[in-house]
Amino acid sequence: MKNLFTILICLSGLFSHAQKNKPFDEDKFYLELGILAQKKDFFEVKELLIANKSRIDKEVYFYYWSLVENAFSHFRESNEAIEDFLEGAGKMNNDSLFKEILLVKQLNLVNLFEYKDAYFTNQYILDNFSHVCTEDEIADLSNTATIWKGLENSGKQFVHRPADVRIQLTRDHARLANVPVTISGKTRNFVFDTGANFSVIQRSVALEMGCEIIPIQFNVSAITGAKVKSDLAVVKELKMGDPSGTGGTVICENVVFLVFDDKDLTFSEVNYSIQGIIGFPVIRNLEEIHMTKADELIIPKTSEVYAKSNMILNGFVPVVQVTQDSDTLQFSFDTGAVETSLNSAYYTKYKKKVEKKGKKQTLKSGGAGGMVEYEGYVLPKVNLAVGNSEVTLHDVQVRKDHVGEVDADFDGNLGQDFIKQFDEMIISFKYSAIQFR
């Protein structure tokens, strides 16, 4: 949604019928909403919409409300708002606006595991709105169409937890948290990673565990900027937890994996290989997770109610509100990252401070497809807080440019060095909340 800001600003012209004697300035209000949406500050967008619903055009309300519902993981409600928007704005002559809202609808359908409808929506966009798509958008839509078409006959993902589950995690060579995963009676340790858009498995491991591979060969963007080829596998039943232990197991049905060639998940520079990753679609479906300092993963049968939200979704990536001094920042949240890092957006905001206090260095990051180097700085000390939980981190890397950034719109990525400062981390996907205790 690269052109979202421009499109949302246009809403003021499309829907405004401002009254001169009216103290409420619609144009100014729509402009403010557009800026906040561009910044992905849907906490503030939500508050403004609730406070001003009766004062603004219903089409504008439904448009923005669909974005808010998507951000707070209410995917079905988001699609309902989209239908209300389309019903009222059907005669509007703005194909770019329709394209953007249909992209949100497609994302909702994927999050609901309704792959066939996601494919039809994808094709509808390509057939009717290609003229307002960039070349990159057309390439991405064509690529993802291959994925949703490959999954159209797959069942929806379900997670069963008949009781509270306690799983002992282990740390691999890269110090990443691993969870025992059993498929077809074979158990392997997979990285447990909220920062992974999809679950991933090495081809040799998939074959060894009896996974049926769907050979469709689509592109996945690697951290290096290169395209990595992937196939799909849909695992009918997967168990998380020690099958011989007393802590119980979680049973997951119809789990989608990206199948990478072994070389694309092997990092010879550091003698490290990833067998598989349990990614965000599975983790979100757990509704609530607790991770302790002793590397215990607790998945309660019944989710607790959390009144205050401090987390949204950006596509498939959780984003948490972080405070630094009096500033509110937004960080992507990645349990698969050992260290917290700061993005180029942070560098732009605090350039003078970073260059004054930081040490300029060539930095490295790794991901599927290999390693990437980029210019940046290392800050000796950074104070960050989530809610009332504050820590001081040392030797924090700051990217100067967008190279290697997955979520460049955000100020940084929160990693294990922050998480491990506390006895327990709780993530409620149901109530969009993260707490540290």
Among 325, 346, 361, residue whose Cα is nearest residue 413: 346
Reading the block at residue 163, the tokens are: 């009781």
The answer to whether 340 and 418 are in contact (CB under 8 A) is yes
More confident residue, 5 or 404: 404
d(CA 173, CA 267) in angstroms, rounded, equals: 11
Domains of the chain listed by start with CATH number: 4-150 (1.25.40), 158-299 (2.40.70.10), 311-436 (2.40.70.10)
HEC string for the chain: CCCHHHHHHHHHHHHCCCCCCCCCCHHHHHHHHHHHHHCCCHHHHHHHHHHHHHHCCHHHHHHHHHHHHHHCCCHHHHHHHHHHHHHHHCCCCCHHHHHHHHHHHHHHHHHCCCHHHHHHHHHHHHHHHHHHCCHHHHHHHHHHHHHHHHCCCCCCCEEECCCCEEEECEECCCCCEEEEEEECCEEEEEEECCCCCCEEEEHHHHHHCCCCEEEEEEEEECCCCCEEEEEEEEEEEEEECCCCCCCCCEEEEEEEEEEECHHHHEEHHHCEECCEEECHHHHHHCCEEEEECCCEEEECCCCCCCCCCCEEEECCEEEEEEEECCEEEEEEECCCCCCCEECHHHHHHCHHHHHHHCEEEEEEEEECCEEEEEEEEEEEEEEEEECCEEEEEEEEEEECCCCCCCCCCCCEEECHHHHCCCCEEEEECCCCEEEEC
The answer to whether 400 and 344 are in contact (CB under 8 A) is yes
pLDDT in tens, 106-151: 999 999 999 999 999 999 999 999 999 999 999 999 999 999 999 9
Place 270 in a pLDDT band, splitting at 50, 70 and 90: confident
Please check the confidence at residue 366 and state whether its pLDDT lies above 70.
no
d(CA 121, CA 105) in angstroms, rounded, equals: 8
Reading the block at residue 421, the tokens are: 């400062």
Half-sphere exposure for 47 (CA within 13 Å, toward CB): 7
Rg (CA), the chain: 22
Least confident of 39-53, 96-110, 150-164, 322-336: 322-336
Please check the confidence at residue 218 and state whether its pLDDT lies above 60.
yes
Distances from the Cα of 265 to the Cα of 187, 195, 287, angstroms:
19, 16, 28
- Work out the average pLDDT over 358-367: 82
Reading the block at residue 319, the tokens are: 């984003």
The answer to whether 432 and 367 are in contact (CB under 8 A) is no
pTM: 0.88
pLDDT in tens, 80-102: 999 999 998 866 778 999 999 99
pLDDT in tens, 375-407: 899 999 999 999 999 999 999 999 998 765 556
Among 209, 214, 110, residue whose Cα is nearest residue 156: 110
